[in-house]
Amino acid sequence: MDGTIQGNKVYLTRPNKEKAASEDEIRQLERSANSYFNMGKEVYIVEKFPKNFFYFATKIRLQKVVDRVKSMPAISNAMLFRIVPSNSMH
């Protein structure tokens, strides 16, 4: 899992963005996201296929981001999700 840190925000990317994430990829993403949560970071992902996250993710949830990030292309903004811990009320 690759990540770009911009201040207090981390933008994660999956190695194979052109197909839906497998259960193993989602578990790896959960571990990465939880590491960043423990450092006090906000975590985001540009995800083309968010549906599998609802099936396999147990420690995180995806929330659609509606505010545009100026430094990102429009296509990425359309697929931008904030990752939050599943026990969070954000």
| Per-residue model confidence as pLDDT tens digits over 18-61 | 899 999 999 999 999 999 999 999 999 999 999 989 889 999 99
Instruction: Pick the closest to residue 83 from 21, 75, 16 (CA basis).
Output: 21
Q: What is the pLDDT of residue 5?
A: 86
Tell me how long the chain is. 90
Q: Is the pLDDT of residue 6 over 70?
A: yes
Residue 67 CA from chain centroid, whole number: 15
Beta strands in 1-70 (DSSP E): 2-6, 9-13, 42-46, 60-64
Query: For residues 17-35, b (16+ Cβ closer than 10 Å) or e, as one string?
Result: eeebbeeebbeebbebbee
Both tokens of 38, joined, read 């423990």
What value does the mean pLDDT of the chain take?
A: 90
Q: What is the pLDDT of residue 88?
A: 62
